[in-house]
A and B are shown apart, each in its own frame.
Chain A
């Protein structure tokens, strides 16, 4: 098995990895870059715990081979906050109590982020659709949906609500 060299942008930084070609994007993020916010749940695209944003769109990083991200831009949960402060979505999840065990949270936030990138004022149905590929077994989703609404509202107000 020959290694592959892949150049891509990870959380705003240009990166080059030389890895085994059978590695998934999820494995590279976690094992090569030690960015362990992105979780593995089912490994089959059913749970969304491994969701990252690839060129502006939410994808399951467990179903993407590393060669497929050549030249592309990946954002993980670690790439959302800036200069030590949380992204509005992260602070809204805390404020709304949308986190229980926390395992689904990074993937849930990345799916919500991909929605807010293209729609600053989503309806409840649009939020439900955007997170329909993310399973949460604790919260019952209500507080997650409220958190996304809160983040959208705070972003529209331009307020720093919840940011530290």
Chain B
């Protein structure tokens, strides 16, 4: 049995912002991470604010140049979404590797971002998509870029009384290709050992990329784009030799830790291998 706490379940966003205004509440989105942390006594909430009635945060909306994903949209919803598959396929690939079907049907994108785990599977795709986090409180609305929002493992710029209400992402263009690849200890229910998301505008006729995004997961404290590697992608034709040289340098831009899943050295090597595979697939 979980430790004792009270639960309130606001019926609207306005009520929710009221309920969390004093900063004493613990927010419950999907709960797949929160309940585990309460069970393990890593978190001892007095008051849980259950957001499950806020249906206004469960939609994926097409807003001309961008897609806005409500913070309570589940990973499963993203995987099945026509809009996400058409305009944000790299995010679909990331969300499809989260946990298990059951976890994907419950866990939310907003929750994944708020937890700010370096191994979160939605974060490398959202990073290469330059996602922005939409935040609301009684004081109003603000937006932060994802890489400014997350400050260190598990820590974000979310202030007391604030709630993530959505994630805004520019639509990918038709000439862009993308791929997310994750290495885990097995295919399902595995936390990433290392992962990479790559997005590039690629001209197959001249095998050249004009713009790109690269972000590694599970090997850096905070997932960020790697401009040094991105520049290398645009410096000439991406033949096998170029792909090999670029991916061999991946380890220079990672700062992995050793833990029970993998050693730092292995993770560094796997970043190179994953990047090689992804670039190979994207350019063939």
Contacts and interface: CB of A to CB of B under 8 A. Distances in A.
A111 B9 contact: no
Interface of A: 1-2, 4, 20-24, 27, 43-46, 48, 51, 54, 57-60, 62-65, 67-68, 70, 111, 114, 129-130, 132-134
Contact of A21 (B7, B31, B36, B189): B7
Contacts, number: 94
Interface residues on B, range: 20 to 34
Q: Which of B28, B102, B189 has the most CB of A within 10 A?
A: B102
Contacts of B31: 63-65, 68
B103 A45 contact: yes
Nearest to B51: A68
Given A44-B39, A63-B31, A70-B52, A132 B5 contact: no
A58 B132 CA distance: 30
B53 interface: yes
Contact of A60 (B3, B6, B106): B106
B2 A45 contact: no
A63 B103 CA distance: 9
A45 B103 CA distance: 7
A59 B106 contact: yes
B6 A21 contact: yes
A110 to B, nearest CB: 9
Contacts of B2: 22-24
17 contacts: A21-B7, A21-B48, A23-B2, A24-B35, A45-B99, A45-B102, A60-B102, A60-B103, A65-B31, A65-B35, A67-B7, A67-B50, A68-B31, A114-B101, A132-B101, A133-B103, A133-B189
Given A59-B102, A132-B100, A133-B99, 19 more contacts: A1-B6, A21-B48, A22-B7, A23-B2, A27-B1, A43-B39, A45-B36, A45-B100, A57-B76, A59-B106, A60-B100, A60-B106, A62-B35, A64-B35, A65-B50, A67-B9, A70-B52, A111-B102, A133-B189
